[in-house]
Each structure stands twice: as C-alpha cells, then as structure tokens.
Structure 1
Amino acid sequence: MATAVETLGKLERRITISFPLTDVRTEVEKRLKVQARTAKAPGFRPGKVPLKMVAAQYGYQIESEVLNDKVGRAFNDAANENNLRVAGFPDIVPKEEAAEGQLAFDATFEVYPEVAIGDLTAVEIETVQADVSEAEIDKTIDILRKQRVHFHTKGEAGEHGDGGEPIAANGDRVTVDFVGSIDGVEFPGGKAEGYAFVLGEGRMLPEFEAATLGLKVGESKTFPLSFPEDYHGKDVAGKTASFTITLQKLEWAHLPEVDAEFAKSLGVADGDLAKMREDIKVNLQREVAGRVKARNKEAVMDALIKVAELEVPKTLIAQDSERLAEMTRQDMAQRGMNVKDVPFPAELFAEKAERRVRLGLILSQLVGDNKLQATPEQVKAQIEDFAQSYEDPREVLKYYYSDRRRLGEIEALVLEENVVTYVLGLSKVTTKAVAFDELMGSNAQA
C-alpha cells in the first residue's frame, strides 16, 4: 500500500509505503525452508539441519532480502500507478510511526523534469571549417622525419657525415653526469649518471640546457640553478642549487631523407613519393573532418543548453559525478599511475556531470519529439567509416557487433550527430574558417 505522492520541491517527491508484518514473516519462513534443503552444519547431513539453526545462520540475511524485495516492488508499483518517471534511485528509510502490525517506509526521490526547448530557428550558431594545404603536408612530413631520427657520434666521420664541430648544440643528444647541492648538501633527485636528453626540446630547466651548450666530451661545468616556485619537487621549489655537469657523450641528429625508402617506411610499398603525400593528405583530411565535427557539435550543444529550460535532478548529477570519478581513477591506473590511496572526490566532477546530464535530458527530448533515433543503416555506416583506417575492416565490424555495449556507444554517437544535423538545419548558421594549426591544437569535446 502507498500513500499519495507528496511534492517536496520542484523535482523531489515522497511516498510512504507499507505492508503487513505477517507478509514478511511468511515469506522469510518460506525462504528459510528452501535454504534448509541444502544447508550444512557440523554433525548433520545436508538438508537435515534443524530449522532453528538455519534461521540462526541465515535468518538476518534472508529477512534483509525479503524486505528489500518487498519495498522495491511496492515502490515500483506506486511509481507506475502514479505515472512517475523516477530519476535515479529512491532514498528509502524506515518510518518510525506505523500502524500496528504494519511495516512502513518513506521513499524520497526525484522525478525527471519537463524539458522546454525554445525556438531553434532563432538560435545563432557559428561553425568552423578548415582545409589541408601543401604546407600542412610538408609539416607532417617533417614531424614524421623527426619521429624517425637517429643519432651518430658528433665529430666522427660516417655514412651521413660527421655532424660538424664536436661541441654541444641545440638538436644534439647529450649524455651527462650531474650532481646538485643546496648549501653544500646533495638533495634527493639531484644526482644522475648517464642521463640523456636532446638540447632544445625543453625537457630540462633553461639554466641546465644553457650550461650544457658549448661543452665538449669530458668537459665539466659548475653553475647555479634556481628552481621555480611551482616546481614539482616541493623540497627544492623556489631554492637555488649548485650543479656540476660532465658531458660523457655527444651525438648529432640525422633526419632521414624524403626518398623512396622513407615512403616505404610509411607503408607505401613501391616508394612513390606522390602516393605518400596523397596518403598523408587523406589522413590529415580525416583528422581535420573529425576535429571540425567535434567543434561544431560543441557549438550546437552550447546553443541547446542556452535555449532549453529545465531543472536537473541532483540524484543524476551525483551518480554521474561518481561515474566520472571512477572512470578517471581507472584511466590513471591503466596509465601505470599508483592511485590506490589517491582521493577522487565526486564533487570535483559535479560541474562536468551537470552539463552531461543536462545535455542528455535535452537530447532525449529532441530525439523523442522529432524521431531522431539512430537507424541500423546509420550505425553500420558509422562503423564502416571507423573501419577505413584499419587493416582488416571486417574485424572492426565484428568487434562492435559482437558486444551490445560497444554497439550502444556507436548508436549514441549517431544519435548525437542526428541532433546536430537537425539543429543546424533549423538555426541561423555562420561558418568561420580556422587555421589548420589552431584546429589541431584544440580538443573540443561536447
């Protein structure tokens, strides 16, 4: 039995549910008898344990299960009878005052809000576009060359030359021994042997790199180094240390020539440079298209948040905050970071969770009102598009279609794209050209 629904706030509701205590006792006794058929105890054969002993061992657990089942069923029945769309899970607590022979519980919960979406034809959205020019292809080739760099001892003649005068210069890979001290005392992390880094890449503090420049193998230099106030090593942050470095090895960087062998190393079997450039262009265009789509989707989502009016259930925000915190923990653990004792307060993710939940409710309303659900054909086309960049596209199809959860992720992606297309088709859209570097340096996420 359930009382009438009480309205506690814009979304918060409460129902009192109750049922006879005898119903609980009857169900507990029934389950105890079933448990007794297989119960084991010292001195008794299986199934011959006295019911009192079974009750002593399993009674509390079974009673809890019965109560949970009955309360859950009663709440669901009450919610259905009152046509309530419950958001999240109810907070159910025993009610102190109950009629004789009855058990009563207060169930406090939130309901899904009404979502009012404004006039989309009046919404102004700025989208972006970007092109891939020959300059971008050249830059990409330079990056690919640097990824394939190899080093040779500087000053020694070889197949590719000697690298010039054997003194440390930007672009060279140096191997050094160093020791640092503060007020004459060495500090943890301030000493190393055979430490290698490339000058000019910014891996070391500027004073360290400046002191290394111009050294020859076997030479040493002592110099002061001031650690920044925000340095990651708190023991030395803001302090000045004295370092002595000794150059043990000096190598110059040789970049591969852009020739047939280079093209083959990128997967162009016949070494054709024109084909290599075309492959790079296609890959860049695919990447640009993805970035443009992400930026434009974000613009649409921002517009929807502004034009839609709704209350966001706190329950759903809390649940999503917990989910984001756990996802972050798992991601960091997979990256090899020790997060066992690191706190991940859900409150840190509340703002992001609120946006996600708000958008989810808005999109659900739009999809339902305008029949924007993902079709099987759209889902298949999206997976096939993903598969283009893989060696065996059939394996990609199998990967998604063999797991309902993975397929659901693609369906959600297509659904979002349907919403974006629908909104852009109604709103006032302007398009801005953005530079390739600006686009590739952004990480737009809706």
Structure 2
Amino acid sequence: MQVSVETTSQIERRITIQVPAGEIDEAVSARLKDTAKNVRLNGFRQGRVPMAVVRQRYGDSVRNEVVGEVMRERYVRAITEEGLNPAGYPQIEPKVNQAGKDLEFVALMEIYPQIELASIEGTEVERPVVSVSDADVDEMIDTLRKQNAGWEEVDAAAADGDQVTIDFQGFLGDEAFEGGSAEGHALVIGSNSFIPGFEEQLIGAKAGEEKTISVTFPGDYQAEHLAGKEATFKVTVHKVSAQKLPEVDAAFIERFGVEGGDEAKFRAEIQKNMTREAAQAVDNRVKQQVLDALKNANEIAVPSALVQQETDGMKRQAAQQFGLGEDFDVSQLPNELFEEQAKGRVQVGLLLAEVIKANELDADDDAIKAKVAELAEQYQDPSEVIDYYMGNEQLKTQVKSAILEEKAVEKLLEQTNVKDVEMSYQQALAAAQQQSDQDEGVEEEGEQANA
C-alpha cells in the first residue's frame, strides 16, 4: 500500500492511497468462490455453477463490495500510520478502479487542529461579591406569595395587576375576524399576553361596563392577514378581581417542605437556596469572562464536521424546548440559526480540552461523588440522587466533564487579574443572565472538552 498525504489547509488533508491490483483481484476471486457455493441458477445444482458464469453474473457487484471494504480498511490503516486524528467522517472517492490495475482512491478529511495555547495573562476579570440580606429574603418571600396568590372579586375599577373576566370580539372595519373572540376570558392587566395597547385600555373599567378598544397589530404578527392592521375590539367586563396574597403562616410555610411551619427555619432555608443560586451566578459570570478571553486569544480553525454535530444537537434541543415532538424532523430548521453559536461552542470545547490535557487534569470517583453530593443538596433525598448518579456511567461522565471544566477555568483564572465588585443579589443574577443570553448552553462546553 502506498500513501501520500497533502496538506490543503490547517485542518484539511488529502490522502491518496494505492493498493496493488493483485491484492484486490485475489480478494475478489476469494469472494466469488464463496459466492459460488450458495448460488442457485436454473440448469445447475447448488455449488456447481461454473466460475465463469458466477464471475459474469456477480463479478461487478462483488468487486464493488470488496473495493468498498478495502478502501475503508486501508483508510483507517493509513491515518493510523500517519498519526492523523480525524474530526468526522472522510469523503472517499475512487480514482482508478479497474481489474488488473492498482486501486487508487482519495480520502478528503478534516483533522483536529494542533493547538498551541496562547496565554490570557493580564486579562481583567470582574468577580461579583454577593451577600444575601434580610431584605433579599423578604423580597423572595413576597415573590413566593405572589406565585401562590388567589383572586378575590372586588367592586372597584380595574388597576394594573388586577384580573378582569371579559367577553370580546375583534373587528377589521365592520367585519369580525376569525379567532378574534372569546367569552369568559380571564386576563391579568400588565401580563402582556394580549396585543400591545389592549390591556392598558382596560385600566379603570368596572364590572358590567362595555368598552371599545382600538389597537394595531404588530407588523410581524403571526397571522399574516392581521399583521400591521388596525382593529377594534368590543369588550364586556364581567368581573374585576384583585390579587389576594396568602399570609406567611404555618400552612403557607409547610407548602415549601418546612415541617411545623417554623418561620425562622423557612427564612434560613430560603437564604441558603439564594446563597447557592448567587454563588452559581458568580461562578458562571467569572467562567464566561475567562472563556471569552481564552477564545479571543486563540483563533483556531474549527472542523466543519464538529460544527455540524453541535448544530444538529442544538436543533434537537430547540425542538424539545418548543415542544415540537419526538417525530419532528430537525433538518427542517435552518443551519444558519445555530451555526455561529455552534462554532463558538466547538472552539471553546477544543481549547478547554487542550487546557485539560496540558495541565493533566483529572477527576476520580471520589471527586465525582463529592460533586454529585453538592448537587443533591437541593433534593429531598440526597442519598437517593447520589446512588442514582454513581450507578449510571453516562451521568458520571457528564459530572466528570463539569469538574474538569471547573478545574480548567481555575487554571486559566490564575493568569488573570481578578477585581472583586460588590453586587446585590438581583444585580448578580441579572449580570449572569445577560451573559447566558449571549451564549446559551455554555455549561455543555465541558462535555465537549472531555469528548
């Protein structure tokens, strides 16, 4: 076998492989002899068909089978001998494939890039310093009260935040349009669940009142026949209800798993959860700054096959997120929606893998179990969660990837200048969410790094 490798770009290789004609012909003859043993043709007993007839009838198909197998086998042998690390599947094309001539084929492939990590020395990293105050706990309790609020009918004009029960019918000019009517609909003013401008015009309305509301549908409205159109709605208000917040009593507290309804324990548990959430927000904010610096300092060629794999994964996630069903064909989603973000994820994953390799980072079962125990604290039965994770190799691998990512970020953080910045609980969460919106799914980069 003769092999020549041509470098066509940083990550692309063109491999030309030649296999002696004798090897191919010998393999084809052997396959035809095996085929002849089982051939059934009219006028011949099984196993007695002349080889000339077998070759004439099956020679081409057998040769194609053999050549296909040989090309795959020799490709694997060639990249092993040449020390090439393929990223994805190659494109294999035969150039010479004739009986009596040496087989020649070309394999076009991408390889993982050779990475020489550039330092992020001197990068400024902002690290939030957050403490959860009593006022933060009070605000969280108010949020929980609102989430568990009921509605109480009132004899008053509707205000922002009230719920109105209405009948309505929509018109374009004098004609009612399909889908523009409902009876007994409960609408919370300020929820922004209706067309812009609709809810605001119900402020001040009372039970028994009829109103005519004028609105303009947004230009990008999902129903094309309504997009950008002016419409009027005839609305009848049947009931106005104000939000009734539950008292913070034992019954309310017990809803959240605090036995006995002890308020001090309830507040302590809330503060503990908020502190953990704040710590996660801080970690995510610091991590994203480090990963952005790593990516900016190391522009690398990214194999298109890996980008496509990541794009396909993001499509599946999007389909699940929007409830499109397991049978939905994700190929209907255009690659352009995901490719840029997918490329960034792959780039960071490759760089993190190099950081992990260069620093010989690892995580044993004890480290994995400790991490799982940390994650399990938020569940009612932590020991059950730990046993479940530790008994599942796939989940253990995911946790190991997360640990290695944390260790890699810690190593990179040593190269940076960290500036502590005081932030409130809400500011820290808002900052982390802003970065998360810029690059959703950054938590998966660790899995790529350990792939």
Q: TM-score range by the shorter chain?
A: 0.7 to 0.9
Residue 123 of structure 2 is aligned to residue 123 of structure 1 = yes
RMSD: 3.4
Decide whether the 8 Å contact of 2:198 with 2:215 is kept in 1: yes
Residue 435 of structure 2 is aligned to residue 435 of structure 1 = no
Offset at residue 360 of structure 1 (A): 1.8
- Partner letter of residue 141 of structure 2? I
Counterpart CA distance in 1 for 2:317 and 2:196 is: 37
Which residues in structure 2 correspond to 1:254-269 (within 5 Å)?
Answer: 254-269=244-259
Offset at residue 191 of structure 1 (A): 1.0
Q: Residue 358 and residue 187 in structure 1: after superposition, are their counterparts in 2 closer, same or farther (change >3 A)?
A: same
Decide whether the 8 Å contact of 1:262 with 1:271 is kept in 2: yes
Offset at residue 177 of structure 1 (A): 0.8
2:86 match: 86
Which residues in structure 2 correspond to 1:352-363 (within 5 Å)?
Answer: 352-363=341-352
Q: Residue 390 and residue 57 in structure 1: after superposition, are their counterparts in 2 closer, same or farther (change >3 A)?
A: farther
Counterpart CA distance in 2 for 1:211 and 1:63 is: 78
Q: What is the identity percentage for the equivalent residue pairs of Structure 1 and Structure 2?
A: 34
Which residues in structure 2 correspond to 1:298-317 (within 5 Å)?
Answer: 298-317=288-307
Residue 367 of structure 2 is aligned to residue 364 of structure 1 = no
Residue 254 of structure 2 is aligned to residue 251 of structure 1 = no
The CA deviation string for residues 340-396 of structure 1, in whole angstroms up to 9 with x for no partner, is 588212233221122122112211221111111223222111111111111222322
1:160 match: none
SS in 2 for 1:118: coil
1:216 match: 206
1:2 match: 2
The CA deviation string for residues 261-300 of structure 1, in whole angstroms up to 9 with x for no partner, is 2211221111111111111000111111111111111111
Q: Residue 423 and residue 48 in structure 1: after superposition, are their counterparts in 2 closer, same or farther (change >3 A)?
A: same
207-216 or 2-11, which deviates more? 207-216
Decide whether the 8 Å contact of 1:333 with 1:339 is kept in 2: no
Counterpart CA distance in 1 for 2:54 and 2:336 is: 44
Q: Residue 101 and residue 426 in structure 1: after superposition, are their counterparts in 2 closer, same or farther (change >3 A)?
A: same
Which residue among 333, 352, 355 is the counterpart of 1:344? 333
TM-score norm. by structure 2 comes to 0.84
Decide whether the 8 Å contact of 1:17 with 1:106 is kept in 2: yes
1:413 match: 402
Counterpart CA distance in 1 for 2:351 and 2:278 is: 28
Decide whether the 8 Å contact of 1:32 with 1:55 is kept in 2: no
Decide whether the 8 Å contact of 2:319 with 2:330 is kept in 1: no
Q: Which runs of 5+ in 1 are unaligned?
A: 42-46, 155-162
Offset at residue 182 of structure 1 (A): 0.7
Counterpart CA distance in 1 for 2:170 and 2:194 is: 14
2:175 match: 185
- Partner letter of residue 368 of structure 2? V
246-255 or 72-81, which deviates more? 246-255
SS in 1 for 2:89: strand
Q: Which runs of 5+ in 2 are unaligned?
A: 443-451
- Partner letter of residue 73 of structure 2? R
Which residues in structure 2 correspond to 1:108-119 (within 5 Å)?
Answer: 108-119=108-119
SS in 1 for 2:108: strand
- Partner letter of residue 243 of structure 1? F
Q: Residue 411 and residue 29 in structure 1: after superposition, are their counterparts in 2 closer, same or farther (change >3 A)?
A: farther
Offset at residue 206 of structure 1 (A): 4.9
Which residues in structure 2 correspond to 1:315-330 (within 5 Å)?
Answer: 315-330=305-320
Counterpart CA distance in 1 for 2:282 and 2:147 is: 26
Which residues in structure 2 correspond to 1:280-295 (within 5 Å)?
Answer: 280-295=270-285
Decide whether the 8 Å contact of 1:112 with 1:313 is kept in 2: yes
237-246 or 399-408, which deviates more? 399-408
1:159 match: none
Offset at residue 215 of structure 1 (A): 3.0
**Count of aligned residue pairs for this structure pair:** 429
Residue 401 of structure 2 is aligned to residue 398 of structure 1 = no
Decide whether the 8 Å contact of 1:31 with 1:62 is kept in 2: no
- Partner letter of residue 178 of structure 2? P
Which residues in structure 2 correspond to 1:116-195 (within 5 Å)?
Answer: 116-152=116-152, 154=153, 163=154, 165-195=155-185
Residue 391 of structure 2 is aligned to residue 388 of structure 1 = no
SS in 2 for 1:333: coil
Offset at residue 260 of structure 1 (A): 1.9
- Partner letter of residue 429 of structure 2? M
Residue 28 of structure 2 is aligned to residue 25 of structure 1 = yes
TM-score norm. by structure 1 comes to 0.85
Counterpart CA distance in 2 for 1:406 and 1:251 is: 48
1:242 match: 232
Counterpart CA distance in 1 for 2:223 and 2:399 is: 43
The CA deviation string for residues 226-283 of structure 1, in whole angstroms up to 9 with x for no partner, is 2232333332222211210011233332110112222112211111111111110001
- Partner letter of residue 195 of structure 1? H
Decide whether the 8 Å contact of 1:91 with 1:109 is kept in 2: yes
2:448 match: none
Offset at residue 139 of structure 1 (A): 1.3
Q: Residue 66 and residue 347 in structure 1: after superposition, are their counterparts in 2 closer, same or farther (change >3 A)?
A: farther
- Partner letter of residue 376 of structure 2? A
